[in-house]
Structure 1
């Protein structure tokens, strides 16, 4: 396909994001996410698993260590270089492929037992047709009955958050926060549009030397379930956190497991 990637991807997915995202730097959270995948999908040893939007291999490497045959897919080659180094250092074997998640044509149809999409790696594109195409591509590469686990921020939980919102209009929803735990202070602003359900997430260092902005769609449970059905999935379960607790409206995560429906002959 032609390169029609969302304009913010190249400038956001740099060291600024990996240095500033608290969850990315938390080994306990990573371990919980990998346990979640293993428990929720109940895969056999040696199952072929795609880690979609794998980034620097944060999940790919421990999934390989858990006994799966892992392929990590990401658009950003500089992240894939870091992922390959991480894999070598861990003594694991993971295949890494550079691809746009809307076009997984480089990967054979029906070649995976499972696909995982973790840490809100969905909703990146400007139109719902483009975001739906990600799900249909995932459906294409799954074997009959193959499993899909998607983990995204719960839109309804986000709207229950409070934050410093001085200087914004009454019709705006803005959450602001900061972190200084790693020696550098980062300021975060998440600005939500009720008309599009998109969040514009701006990160900058306190001294303004680095910054990055993402612009992505967030979903309520019924919206994600509807999209999965349109893409050819049967929803198996909904969970609200990595301990597989039941989903409810105030759950921070929307973790959905689904099975690929049989293709029509």
Structure 2
């Protein structure tokens, strides 16, 4: 690349709008402050136990935690016996993950910044296991970009490696009662709730677009007197089980099992989650 081409590329990148996930998972910590599930140590333990049951560390020790965030899963997975590499696009979250590991005196987890669509920092077949947990998929604008994520996961998995992915079940999300749903002017569905269980109040608005299966989720913390309002919006796609397994097959995976929760209950349309174990075989 010439100097002129590099300058043009840098200028083009600088003029691109900031993607939602760079702000939502950023330094304001609104997501981690407001997501009760994220803060639940019991749920985190269930997720880690699910992974260890599906892909034991003695047979699949080299683990990539894709979209690792603040190390919520990476550190306990390292404690369970895996050699963990956590990857995330947020430098703020990666710094928190490193502090979490230091606090736990963990030597089995390292953290690297990368876009999940481009894992070129890692060699082909460098991992025995890849995990992508707590609906950390569906973030990009096109299906081809989501396929690129899955193709990169398959590339970095060793022969016989396993990929464990966990996302919200779109069909269960839509089975909420009509009293919860409200009509949106653009023929979408709206759910508005609030939570004050932590002593702080957070307002949640989820707008579902049936033409794209995307949820626009806005979190707002009302302002105290004299303080600014904190608000941030995520915009991600949710999947039915057949859609997710279809994408995995297109990326070259074999879907070994599909569960409906972290207890590994067989999947049904009413299940809260879609937990897929996919293999490179």
Q: TM-score, normalised by structure 1?
A: 0.94
Alignment of 1:28-43 (within 5 A): 28-43=42-57
CA distance in 1, matches of 2:149, 2:37: 24
Tell me if the contact between 1:150 and 1:256 (Cα under 8 Å) persists in the aligned partners.
yes
Is the partner of 1:223 in helix, strand or coil?
A: helix
User: Does the 8 Å contact 2:183/2:190 carry over to 1?
Assistant: no
| Aligned position for 1:96 | 111
Q: Give the superposition deviation at 1:46.
A: 7.0
CA 1:46–1:241 in 2, change beyond 3 Å: closer, same or farther? closer
CA distance change for structure 1 residues 245 and 6 in 2, over 3 Å: closer, same or farther?
Answer: farther
The change in CA–CA distance for 1:166 and 1:238 in structure 2 (over 3 A counts) is closer
Aligned to 1:112: 127
Distance 1:6 1:102, change over 3 A: farther
Partner of 2:230: 210
Unaligned runs of 5+ in 1: none
CA shift for structure 1 position 217: 0.7
Do the aligned residues in 2 keep the contact of 1:5 with 1:125 (CA within 8 Å)? no
What is the CA-CA distance between 1:145 and the residue it aligns to?
Answer: 1.0
Shift of 1:172: 2.3
Q: 2:71 aligns with which of 49, 57, 79?
A: 57
**Aligned CA distance change for structure 1 residues 128 and 6 (closer, same or farther; 3 Å):** farther
Which of residues 167, 181, 186 in structure 2 aligns to 1:152? 167
Q: Does 1:178 align with 2:201?
A: no
Asked if the contact 2:68–2:88 (Cα under 8 Å) also holds between the matched residues in 1, the reply is yes
Tell me what 1:248 maps to. 268
- Structure 2 unpaired stretches of 5+: 1-8
User: SS at the partner of 1:34?
Assistant: helix
State how far apart, in whole Å, the 1-side matches of 2:181 and 2:200 are. 23
Is the CA contact 1:46–1:67 (under 8 Å) kept in the aligned structure 2? Answer: no
Query: 1:214 aligns to what SS in structure 2?
Result: strand
Q: Compare CA radii of gyration and give the structure with the larger one.
A: 2
TM-score by length of 2: 0.88
> Secondary structure at the residue paired with 1:213?
strand
Q: CA RMSD in A?
A: 1.9
Q: C-alpha displacement at 1:168, in angstroms?
A: 3.1
Corresponding residue for residue 24 of structure 1: 38
Distance in 2 between residues matched to 1:235 and 1:37, nearest whole Å: 16
